[in-house]
Amino acid sequence: MQGVFFLTAITSIAAVALICIFLFYNGVPAIAEIGFFDFVGGQQWAPTNQPPSYGIFCMIVGSIYVTAGAIIIGVPIGILTAVFLARFCPAPLYKIIKPATELLAGIPSIVYGFFGLMVVVPFIRDTFGGNGSSLLAASVVLGIMILPTIIGVSESAIRAVPEPYYEGSLALGATRERSVFRVMLPASKSGILAGVVLGIGRAIGETMAVILIAGNQVQIPTSLTEGVRTLTANIVLEMGYSTGLHRQALIATGVVLFVFILLITLSMQAIKSRSEKNG
């Protein structure tokens, strides 16, 4: 069994390694041919022009904005929902809310996109102006999509904290709410941070829902009601008909996205290590 477990672990590592090799083997030559600063810092994406332009800076900014909006909306709601489910929710109500949050994780992303297209986009258009397909619409829908990940992981982390922590805080005179937010949450911050990282990965890597509601405009938005195009949306929209350098540039876009996720993960790990060291 030790050999079986070792093989499964090696398989996981090999899968990640093969993906990295494929991305960098096909993407790095395109970056070198286009020019790193022209590719990453260019603001014009026009592969059909003569000469073609392959600048993805607007899409990098769009991906960051959309992910940041999803974090602002989804993380507070997700963590507070996890706290309610773990410490305050009555048992009969828990049997309703918990399956509902788990059901959110099983809904296909295209269904979220249709929901955003039929409900969120018209609401934003009628309330804030514009055509509705915007940075705000994508942030709202992605904020909803990352909820089940954050809620599930955060609730498990809170429940993993030893009960004497909570009881000791109550014995010292703290209220129930103060015990939860000043004792239980700090003790479970590593698990909560892991849930936030997974939520960020889900948000920055989402494609289908974003294509339907973000507007797909290659520009740096100056307001929440303007359209954006993310890195993932750009790959999906153009991969079907791309050839040559255009196709390699799209794969290079995947390399940039992969590096972004890697940097986010490493940053969160550094924050986690520092907090544990200080704690």
DSSP letter (8 states) at residue 56: -
Confidence of residue 155 (pLDDT cuts 50, 70, 90): very high
Determine the pLDDT at residue 277. 65
Extended strands (E) in 17-152: 45-46, 53-54
pTM for the whole structure? 0.88
Report the residue count for the chain.
279
Confidence of residue 279 (pLDDT cuts 50, 70, 90): low
Q: Omega before 47 cis (within 30°)?
A: no
Name the 3-class secondary structure at 53: strand
What integer is the mean pLDDT of 230-250? Answer: 89
Q: Which of 262, 142, 260 minimizes the C-alpha distance to 211?
A: 142
Q: Please, where are the H alpha helices in 118-243?
A: 121-128, 135-145, 147-159, 163-171, 176-179, 185-187, 189-205, 208-213, 231-239
Determine the pLDDT at residue 265. 80
Longest dimension (CA), the chain: 74
Domain ranges in the chain are: 2-278
User: Does pLDDT of 271 surpass 80?
Assistant: no
pLDDT digits (tens, 9 = 90+) for 19-65: 889 888 888 999 998 888 889 988 888 888 888 889 999 999 999 99
Q: 269 versus 224: which is more confidently predicted? A: 224
Pick the CATH number of 2-278 from 3.40.630.30, 3.10.400.10, 3.90.1150.10, 1.10.3720.10: 1.10.3720.10
Name the 3-class secondary structure at 115: helix
8 A C-beta contact, residue 247 and residue 256:
no
The b/e string for 92-108 (b: 16+ C-beta within 10 A; e otherwise) is eeeeeeeeebeebeeee
Confidence of residue 130 (pLDDT cuts 50, 70, 90): confident
pLDDT digits (tens, 9 = 90+) for 68-116: 999 999 999 999 999 999 999 998 999 999 999 989 888 998 999 999 9
What integer is the mean pLDDT of 213-239? Answer: 89
8 A C-beta contact, residue 238 and residue 54:
no
